[in-house]
């Protein structure tokens, strides 16, 4: 199970092609993978959230499309 591929598939199905997964990190104390979600913007890539997976690749937490869009809007608005 590759957490980045799992998150990439989830993002394409849920959010679309403007998002992509970053490098996964494993937290050995919680036995969880954390994968940042990047969004492509005109100013470059911005981290808008992260996905949490268990060791078998099941998604335990992922922000909704609406949450990601709200976060992106807030980040882009504050950068102007």
Sign of CA dihedral 6, 14, 17, 25: negative
Q: Is residue 79 part of a domain?
A: no
Q: Is residue 80 part of a domain?
A: no
Q: How many domains would you assign to the chain?
A: 1
Q: Which residues contact 16 (CB under 8 A, 6 or more apart)?
A: none
What mean pLDDT is reported for the chain? 89
pLDDT at 80 over 60: no
Using alpha carbons, list the distances in angstroms from residue 52 to 3, 73, 77, 80: 9, 23, 27, 30
**Residue numbers of the domain that contains 37:** 3-74
pTM, to two decimals: 0.86
Q: Is residue 28 part of a domain?
A: yes
Instruction: Report residue 76's pLDDT band, with 50, 70 and 90 as the boundaries.
Output: low
Do 38 and 24 form a contact (C-beta atoms < 8 A)?
A: no
Mean pLDDT of the region 45-70 = 92
């Amino acid at each position: 199970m590759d957490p980045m591929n799992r998150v990439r598939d989830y993002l394409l199905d849920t959010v679309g092609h403007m998002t992509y997964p970053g490098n996964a990190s494993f937290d050995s104390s919680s036995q969880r993978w954390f994968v940042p979600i990047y969004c492509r913007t005109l100013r470059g890539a911005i981290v808008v959230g992260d996905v949490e997976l268990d060791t078998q690749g099941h998604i335990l937490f992922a922000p909704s499309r609406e949450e990601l869009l709200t976060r992106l809007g807030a980040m882009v608005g504050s950068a102007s």
